[in-house]
Structure 1
Amino acid sequence: MPLITVHLLKLSTGVTPAAFVQAISTVSAPLVASRVVRWIITPGTLSKDRLLNTAWDLLVIVPLSAPIQAEYLRKDRVTEQWSITAGAPKSLVNGFHERNERLLRPQTGDVPRLTGSLDKPRMAGSTQGLELTNDLLQWSKDFKLGQDGAVSMLNLLAFKPGKAAHDSYLRYGKAFAESIGASRGGNAKIVGKVVPSQGTTGEDSSGWDEVALAHYPSIRHFTDMLASEDYQIVNHRDRLPSLRDTCILCTTELDPDLQQARARL
């Protein structure tokens, strides 16, 4: 099972996300390079201070076998960093770039229409249960990076002990892949079980169990899902009871062409 490392980076003044990704791509071609946009769900206890006390600029996911070189993580380029390593199925890692480009640059017929859930949305008072709130809905309507561009949601997951919780989340994952997520273009394009003690810079050791990166064709497709009755039934029945902590960070991936560029900081 290939190991991948998820990095959150706060870049130094004057270092742009595009320039940073161009530079590291001369040695290590990232699987994912995304601008950080905002938290959708904040962590309850795990990694709370480390994750929330920094305004992150960039999410980068690389194979552990081809890490970001130390010279690019110096303080003149990166002021803060957080990382976690996970084992991802080989079937997800092999051919990832081709599949991801198709997701980011969809062809005619690839993107499903909205289901209409936003016409009469199911609302809540907090996003912490992965539900739609007035604040999140208004933010999504004002989304500065556009209403039709893809978003990638980084999920960190910590499960309650026992087989029941594990089986409950598996049911949620199956429903997401086959219906409640897929009908909105949702795609769990990276999923991995955390493998601790890999010695990466800024490595997290707080006890997360799994990482996932979920693709949505647009921010509207994401909020359409949260607004729907069919999603929330499964969310409350299978997802929420299985988790002891979680967080979700909204990002937008840099143009895939950047990862092929050859430039220096």
Structure 2
Amino acid sequence: MVVCTLHLIALNDGVSVPTFLANLRASNVQPIFIAKVLRWIILPSHQSTGRLLARNKSWDLLLGLAPDATIPAALAASDIDAQWTVSYGVSAKVLSGYRALTSQLHAAAASARVPLPRTADRDTSQDLESSPELLGWINELPTDLRHRPVTMLNLLAFNPGKKDQYVRYGKEFSSRVGSAHGGRVKIAARVATGAQGTAAEEGWDEIAYVHYPTLNHFASMLSNEEYQAVNKEYRLGALKDTFILCTMEVGDDGEVLGQGRAEKL
């Protein structure tokens, strides 16, 4: 087991994503992955809200760094407006196989197409259900981006005694209700207290970083009755708090990875 870090980053005004990534490479920092933040799917209700949501903060990037890798202080001072960090323990096998798994999932996503659901019953997606607002946002994205792979960052805090209930949700997700819509957990790990970490002290227990072939696949899952039955039975009551952040992984140049024409975000 090794301790890695996730870094949510808001860049200073005038600092573009490609500029920051070029400066990061020049500092000899090689992330496990780089992802462009698209939007919140679920907002945290009370944990870490001051740091994550203050001043309606817009996050630009999610960086996954290997053990002992850090963002140099000089680079943070020149390019970064705000940062929120999560330390987590993960097996060396998951870490070493991450890029190969991502390439495999992106290749499979190239031929994956599903239609966007037409309707939604809920006004909000805070319970991980489909909503008109979410479907409208997806529909307004450029077609190229709607057909790119996405990865959802989930932070989880469990109600006392409810961890086993969430484990049942995870098993149902991986075996049928999530996997049927292309959902694949790439990283699932316990939050750790690290030198840079604050998430454990703020009450978070675990992270899950979950791939979907496209946003349409994710929305289709949320609209599925079988998925929602599992969601309501095992997931909702197990969580004291959670957030989900939608991201798209990018290369060193800031271009979105996956099938289709490269498009800078």
Say if 2:237 is the partner of 1:241.
yes
CA distance in 2, matches of 1:158, 1:107: 30
Can you list the C-alpha shifts for 1:174-221, whole angstroms capped at 9, x where unaligned?
11111111111111101110112x221x73431100111111111100
- Post-superposition shift, 1:8? 0.7
Please state if 1:203 is matched with 2:198: yes
Paired residue secondary structure (1:15):
coil
Tell me the residue number matched to 1:7: 7
Question: Offset at 1:230?
Answer: 0.9
Structure 2 gaps, min length 5: 256-265
Q: TM-score, normalised by structure 1?
A: 0.87
Distance 2:252 2:181 in 1: 23
Query: Whole-Å Cα distance in 1 between the matches of residues 104 and 253 of structure 2?
Result: 13
Q: Deviations over 1:97-147 (max 9, x none)?
A: 1111222343766x4x53x7825x552232110001111111111124622
Residues 1:108 and 1:35: Cα distance change in structure 2 (over 3 Å): closer
Question: How many pairs were matched up?
Answer: 250
Superposed CA deviations along residues 44-65 of structure 1, whole A, max 9, x for unmatched, are 1000121012211111111132
Counting only pairs closer than 5 Å after superposition, residues 1-265 of structure 1 correspond to structure 2 as 1-26=1-26, 27-53=28-54, 54-74=57-77, 76-106=78-108, 111=112, 113-114=113-114, 118=117, 123-144=121-142, 146-162=145-161, 165-196=162-193, 198-200=194-196, 203-204=198-199, 205-255=201-251
SS at match of 2:146: coil
Query: Contact 2:155–2:204 at 8 Å: present in 1 too?
Result: yes
Gaps of at least 5 residues in structure 1 are 260-265
- Counterpart contact for 1:155–1:248, Cα < 8 Å: yes
Q: 1:23 to 1:103 in 2, by over 3 A?
A: farther
Counterpart amino acid of 2:240?
Answer: R
How far did residue 172 of structure 1 move? 0.8
Partner SS for 1:94: helix
Question: Which amino acid is the alignment partner of residue 59 of structure 1?
Answer: L
- Cα distance change of structure 1 residues 134 and 207 upon mapping to structure 2, 3 Å threshold: same
Structure 2 distance, partners of 1:171, 1:117, is: 28
Given that residues 38 and 251 in structure 1 are in contact (C-alpha distance below 8 angstroms), is that contact kept between their aligned partners in structure 2?
Answer: yes
Distance 1:118 1:199, change over 3 A: same
SS in 2 for 1:203: coil
Please say which of residues 218-227 and 84-93 is displaced more in the overlay.
84-93
SS class of match (1:136): helix
Which letter does structure 1 place at the counterpart of 2:63? V
Q: Is the CA contact 2:21–2:252 (under 8 Å) kept in the aligned structure 1?
A: no
Q: Is contact 1:18-1:254 (8 Å) kept?
A: no
Matched residue, 1:263: none
CA contact (8 A) 1:152 1:251 kept: yes
Distance 2:191 2:102 in 1: 22
**Could you tell me the TM-score, scaled by structure 2's length?**
0.87
Verify the 8 A CA contact 2:189 2:206 in the aligned structure 1: yes
How far apart, CA to CA, are the structure 2 residues paired with 1:117 and 1:218?
10
Distance in 1 between the 2:129 and 2:146 partners? 19
1:33 match: secondary structure: strand
> Aligned partner of 2:82: which letter?
E
Identity in percent: 36
Render the CA deviation track for 1:129-172: whole Å, top value 9, x for unaligned. 0001111111111124622011111111000111xx11111111
